[in-house]
Amino acid sequence: MGEAAPSTRRRTARKGDLTERRLMREAEALLAARPLASIGVDEIATAAGISRSSFYFYFASREALLRALGEQAHHEVLTSAERWLNRTHEPPEEVITRALADNLALWRRRGPVLRALYDTRNSDPESAALWRAIARRYVDATAAQIDRERDAGLAHPAPPDARQLAAALTGMNLRAFYDASQRSPSPQGDRELVQTLATVWIRTVYRHGSVQPSRTPAS
């Protein structure tokens, strides 16, 4: 059955590419419902319409597939963290709140993958490396931001090392977002969570940690 052929670049119209995507899509769907450990290669393969052994033509293991999904999420994280790095003239409260909300949104979108990747870091070294790369991105961005605000005299000075502080704060976020992404999404609850985290960030990093917006009142 031949119809109007896609003229020029029919490059990479590979059939296997389709199957590979289906595999990843189905895996992520399953992952949304239950932990990776409880999902068999069988299930993923069947869901994608191929036999279990065919699965191994595409991925070396369940973990390899997870890593492929993780790489996708990695890219989303990059852009998210990049944006966070962009200095701006807005008041800190808003920048931080927006960054946190963005981040929570990312976790809502890719939560299953991010959680699974995080959970596997102990049993699969490759996943661990990928996770570290992702986490590092955030810590770096945060530490840089803190240093910048310190230089500008807006943030509490050095004693707590910027990197360590950044690690603690992003660790808190990770934990909170991991959990939140498991609960059903509620705009109300999400806003509260972001607000709580923002409070911690602002009070910890900035001077006169008054969460009350702008114009510092006389002390």
- Which residues here bind a second copy, judged by CB under 8 A? 35, 37-38, 119, 122-123, 156-157, 159-161, 164-165, 167-169, 171-172, 174-176, 179, 192-193, 195-197, 199-200, 203-204, 209, 211, 213, 216, 219
Q: Is the separation of the CB atoms in 168 and 138 below 8 Å?
A: no
- Please count the residues of this chain forming the interface with DNA, following the rule CB under 7 A: 20
Strand intervals (E) in 7-125? none
Please, are residues 102 and 85 in contact by the beta-carbon 8 Å criterion?
A: no
Mapped onto helix, strand or coil, the DSSP state of residue 155 is: strand
Contact 105, 48 (CB under 8 A): no
Among 47, 54, 71, 118, binds DNA (CB under 7 A): 54
What are the CA-CA distances from residue 202 to residues 34, 139, 213 (Å)? Answer: 35, 16, 11
Per CB under 7 A, contacts with DNA among 61-100 are 61-62
Q: Which is nearer to DNA, 38 or 188 (CB)?
A: 38
Note whether 179 binds DNA by CB under 7 A: no
Q: Which is nearer to DNA, 16 or 171 (CB)?
A: 16
DSSP class of 36: G
Which distant-in-sequence residues (6+ apart) come within 8 Å of 146 by Cβ? Answer: 155, 162, 165, 166, 205
Q: Within 10 Å of residue 33's Cβ, how many Cβ atoms?
A: 9
DSSP 218: P
- Picked from a second copy, DNA, none, the partner binding residue 176 (CB below 5 to 8 A depending on kind) is a second copy
Q: Please, what is the minimum distance in Å from the beta carbon of residue 214 to a second copy? A: 9
Pick what 61 binds: DNA, a second copy, none; C-beta below 5 to 8 Å, kind-dependent: DNA
The least CB distance from residue 36 to a second copy, in Å, is: 8
Closest CB to DNA among 30 and 194? 30
Q: Which residues are paired to 206 by β-bridges? A: 155
Nearer to DNA, 56 or 196 (CB): 56
Among 1, 4, 5, 13, binds DNA (CB under 7 A): 13
DSSP H helices, the chain, are 15-33, 41-47, 52-58, 62-85, 92-120, 125-151, 162-180, 187-205
Per rule CB under 7 A, is residue 14 in the interface with DNA? yes
Q: What does 62 bind: a second copy, DNA, none (CB cut-off 5 to 8 Å by kind)?
A: DNA
